[in-house]
Structure 1
Amino acid sequence: MFMRMSFTVAVAGASGYAGGEMLRVLLGHPEARIETLTAHSSAGNALGEHQPHLRSLADRILAPTSPDTLAGHDVVVLALPHGASGAVAAELAQRDPTTIVVDLGADHRLSNAADWEAYYGNAHAGTWPYGLPELLHAGESVPTKQRAVLAEATRIAVPGCNVTAVTLGLQPGIAAGLIEPLDVVAVLANGYSGAGKSLKPHLLAAEGLGMAQPYAVGGTHRHIPEIAQNLRVAGAPDVTISFTPTLVPMSRGILATATARLVPGTDPALVRAAWETAYADEPFVHLLPAGQWPTTAATLGANTALVQVAVDERAGRVVTVTAIDNLVKGTAGGAVQSLNVALGLPETLGLPLDGVAP
């Protein structure tokens, strides 16, 4: 493993929620030097017009997003709409293949091109190393984790925020052979920042502050094949999942309740031990004491995932609840965590563990 200390960063899509959160997290990283910031329709504006909370970068002018502008940095972060990262990344690869490119969008997450085309509707851009260091890999007496794949990676595909929450909730049971993967149900409460900054009537405060509303119902959400992909990596031969996200009146956060059938004959006492084993040494994924339940407030602003597991013996199901900040552990924090691994830096460097309360 090599260690690269100070590194320069360009962030494409700096005016959006994901790009802005990436900048906020990088500002707390002792080795990151933020250089170029780019945008599309906001090019030519000062960053402070779009991210007024980032006072130390408020006067930076947003450049147009192009390979010419992004080239020449140690790290390039692509916080672009789905379908836009592939072409930019391909041109960057031709210019300097040693540049580390981190894609916060979906373009390079899926390993199956047919899944990509079915859910996203255009050509697959290819598959990159997956940016979830805690992802369990089946096939060993003690499962390995994704951080071994990320070491010295020059391309990182950051997971979807919902995917991170559901995967962290369920994978210990899959890897231990305790839960069945063919009747998984996940229902999520999601903050509005996960929908981005687009101006749509149902995303306006006048509409959203007074209601909870489901979206992408009935197997249509684009994160479904990614969740299934992760659970297969963890040891599931096949996966069937019913996935329903719901927008609730909060700006950020995900509370994911995911359940699966307990394998017949399994001693319920083994369940908690599997989750304890999976996350015992993880700096950011914390299994809470029995009886204490995760809340989104406890993860606000932190790269922490809080997990709880219980057995519903009457229903024969394992119930998991996972809370994350969708913009930190679900996006920018997870990206920096994976980047630290790729650079050979301490995995926790520059990342907040503690939330903001009240």
Structure 2
Amino acid sequence: MIKAGIIGATGYAGGELVRILSGHPDVEIVWYGSRSYIDQKYADVYRNMFRIVDAACMDDNMEELAEEADVIFTATPQGFCASVISEEILSKTKIVDLSADFRIKDVKTYEKWYGIEHKSPQFIEEAVYGLCEVNREDVKSARLVANPGCYTTCSILTAYPLSKEGLIDMNTLIVDAKSGTSGAGRGAKVPNLFCEVNENMKAYGVTTHRHTPEIEEQLSYASGEPVMINFTPHLVPMNRGILATEYASLKEKVTAEEVMAIYQKYYGNEYFIRLLGAGACPETKWVEGSNFVDIGFQIDERTNRIVMMGAIDNLVKGAAGQAVQNMNLMFGLPEQEGLKLVPLFP
């Protein structure tokens, strides 16, 4: 059995890690880390875990945890993992970091967008960007994986094949995305109160959202050219889900069949990516609670542009599910192990 420790186990992503790993046949959770609830029963924090998890919450002592766990998941705010990671810890255990600390390869870019000093830049080059469908082979041999962000996972995977094949003009790419409120975390914030969110929809982080450089960097690798995008996220009154609608000019006239063939080339054998085809619009309700990515597209012949659409559950494929997918690869397990989660409906 793989012994897993979770730091940040009482946040939304951490709670989702507990839910998924509790049903994983090859994993035993040995550490429920939560600085806010030390010594409190985990099931008292999340009552859905009553009679499933009997353990109490512990602190975030990474050095002690590294002695007990084969893998550590850090579902923590930006800056935590970078501030505690060390060569000694990495020599004893593997780490899947759900924060942005090791996602962006340029330290100055990270510090500019996140507004904090990076405490462990020596590990950035080693860290593998854990988008499994793109970096699968590198993840297998990694000891430190940077789990991608939720908006970025959806945005990158939706545009990746057409970016890789040079079908779209990357200078024209616009990403318009909507997310449920769980994407903002479990901390109490006035903008996320029920009366603030219910019966409302709003853009936020316009031109400044911190996932922008992550999307740009990964699509730059895919396209082989510098990429600068407009990325606008929106908050919608639902618990879970992300829908990304992406627009770009086509470099040449193509048919829907040709576009579909490109998507099939890259994703035809991917278990977690479901290609809906031309004219089909993904919906967040059909991926809720699952690790699936639903992708569709529509060619606008009038403007010679293409509209690409992707939907994910931000807490599963956008966070905890992808982290477990990375763990499976790191330990040589079947990639879908513990993740064959049927989407919830209604």
- 1:43 corresponds to which letter in structure 2? I
**2:140 aligns to what?**
151
In structure 1, how many angstroms separate the alpha carbons of the residues matched to 2:29 and 2:277? 39
SS across alignment from 2:37: coil
- Aligned pair partner of 1:164 in 123, 137, 153: 153
Please list the CA deviations of residues 310-339 of structure 1 after superposition, one character each: whole Å capped at 9, or x if unmatched.
211112211111010000001011111111
- 1:20 corresponds to which letter in structure 2? G
In structure 1, how many angstroms separate the alpha carbons of the residues matched to 2:259 and 2:145? 32
Unaligned runs of 5+ in 1: 1-5, 136-145
In structure 2, how many angstroms separate the alpha carbons of the residues matched to 1:293 and 1:268? 14
- Aligned pair partner of 1:8 in 3, 7, 29: 3
Aligned Cα root-mean-square deviation (Å): 1.5
Please list the CA deviations of residues 53-93 of structure 1 after superposition, one character each: whole Å capped at 9, or x if unmatched.
12345432111111244222101110111111112222xx3
Alignment CA distance shift 1:265-1:46 (3 Å): same
**2:133 aligns to what?**
134
**2:268 aligns to what?**
280
SS across alignment from 1:64: coil
What is the identity percentage for the equivalent residue pairs of Structure 1 and Structure 2? 37
**1:190 aligns to what?**
179
Alignment of 1:1-358 (within 5 A): 6-72=1-67, 73-90=69-86, 93-95=87-89, 97-124=91-118, 125-126=120-121, 127=124, 128-135=127-134, 146-217=135-206, 219-266=207-254, 269-358=257-346
Alpha-carbon shift at residue 177 of structure 1 (Å):
1.0
Alpha-carbon shift at residue 353 of structure 1 (Å):
4.2
- 1:133 corresponds to which letter in structure 2? C
SS across alignment from 1:134: helix
Count of aligned positions: 340
Alignment CA distance shift 1:37-1:312 (3 Å): same
**Alignment check: 8 A CA contact 2:277 2:295 kept:** no
Please list the CA deviations of residues 121-178 of structure 1 after superposition, one character each: whole Å capped at 9, or x if unmatched.
222333210111112xxxxxxxxxx101111211111000000000011011011110
SS across alignment from 2:142: coil
Alpha-carbon shift at residue 232 of structure 1 (Å):
1.4
**Alignment check: 8 A CA contact 1:272 1:310 kept:** no
Deviates more, 1:57-66 or 1:208-217: 57-66
**Alignment check: 8 A CA contact 2:66 2:92 kept:** no
In structure 2, how many angstroms separate the alpha carbons of the residues matched to 1:96 and 1:119? 27
In structure 2, how many angstroms separate the alpha carbons of the residues matched to 1:327 and 1:64? 23
Alpha-carbon shift at residue 111 of structure 1 (Å):
0.8
In structure 2, how many angstroms separate the alpha carbons of the residues matched to 1:292 and 1:268? 12
**Alignment check: 8 A CA contact 2:178 2:242 kept:** yes
In structure 1, how many angstroms separate the alpha carbons of the residues matched to 2:303 and 2:342? 35
In structure 2, how many angstroms separate the alpha carbons of the residues matched to 1:237 and 1:270? 23
Alignment CA distance shift 1:56-1:68 (3 Å): farther
SS across alignment from 1:258: strand
In structure 2, how many angstroms separate the alpha carbons of the residues matched to 1:47 and 1:24? 12
